[in-house]
Amino acid sequence: MSLTLYMHPLAAYCHKPLIALYENDTPFQAQIVDLADDVQRAAFYALWPIGKFPVLNDHTRGCLVPESSIIIEYLARHYPGKVTLVPKDADEAREVRFRDRFFDQYVAEPMQKVITDRLRPKGDRDRYGVAIARDKLRTALDLLEREFERDDGKRLWAAGEHYSMADCAASPALFYANFVIPLEDDHPLTAAYLLRLMQRPSYARVLREAEPYLHLVPAEPVEA
């Protein structure tokens, strides 16, 4: 098989390319890497010394592609399918790329700060950093909610009426953000958008595959 995706089902940034692959029924092999396993960790770092998921290896073209957004762009160019995740129109593509970065940098990044801090021993937690991350996440969610309100709740997807790479980014970012700031409380339109994302067959499949690992996501700080 030409494509191998090195990933873990729990990793938010791995959800993005998985969604893209499932959207277009692109044949690939998923290579789950357990970084707690010394042998698997060493093999992965030998492939990609940065050691971050996801990484796509295109054996046919001899190309190693890291980073979730870049993987989706690569798939759109070299393995296109029925769903166009990156628009051909330059202005529409710019909007999709902006919203993709918005979800990665302003939703996923602070969300991960809060959740990973919960895994730290009590004496090593970063209360100040977590407070800043929570504020950053709430600001992003407030902005997103206002956008849905401006469109009277009629906008279905992140960049408008068409599903795109931005929605691939939004899916895991909002799914895990809901563990930090429950969306139903103050962001009902964003919560409704998350539900649409979760009901999309591609992301529903990703979540089914992640389900055996979801108990590892701490809802509250782990006492240690």
Examine the domain organization and report whether 37 and 68 are in the same domain.
yes
Examine the domain organization and report whether 108 and 176 are in the same domain.
yes
Mark the ranges of the chain whose per-residue pLDDT is less than 70.
1, 221-224
Examine the domain organization and report whether 121 and 49 are in the same domain.
no
Number of domains in the chain: 2
What is the pLDDT at residue 198? 98
Phi, psi of 213 (to 5 degrees): -110, -10
What is the pLDDT at residue 76? 96
> Which of 21, 44, 78 is the endpoint of a domain?
78
Cα 65 to Cα 1, 32, 86, 107: the distances in Å are: 16, 16, 17, 24
Examine the domain organization and report whether 67 and 143 are in the same domain.
no
What is the pLDDT at residue 210? 97
Examine the domain organization and report whether 117 and 146 are in the same domain.
yes
What is the pLDDT at residue 224? 44
- Domain range for 47: 3-78
Q: Is 218 part of any domain?
A: no
Q: Is 214 part of any domain?
A: no
What is the pLDDT at residue 154? 82
Examine the domain organization and report whether 60 and 106 are in the same domain.
no
Examine the domain organization and report whether 94 and 130 are in the same domain.
yes
What is the pLDDT at residue 95? 97
Examine the domain organization and report whether 57 and 110 are in the same domain.
no
Examine the domain organization and report whether 104 and 188 are in the same domain.
yes
Give the domain CATH number at 36.
Answer: 3.40.30.10
What six digits make up the tokens of 223?
């006492």
Q: Is 210 part of any domain?
A: no
Nearest-angstrom CA–CA distance, 156 and 110? 25
Nearest CA among 116, 96, 77, 79 for reference residue 168: 96
**What SS3 state is found at 146?**
helix
Give the domain CATH number at 172.
Answer: 1.20.1050.10
Q: Is 209 part of any domain?
A: no
What is the pLDDT at residue 166? 98
What is the pLDDT at residue 123? 84
Q: Is 196 part of any domain?
A: yes
What is the pLDDT at residue 110? 97
Examine the domain organization and report whether 125 and 30 are in the same domain.
no
What is the pLDDT at residue 1? 64
What is the pLDDT at residue 152? 82
Examine the domain organization and report whether 72 and 94 are in the same domain.
no
Q: Is 158 part of any domain?
A: yes
User: pTM of the full predicted structure?
Assistant: 0.94
Examine the domain organization and report whether 123 and 195 are in the same domain.
yes
Q: Is 208 part of any domain?
A: no
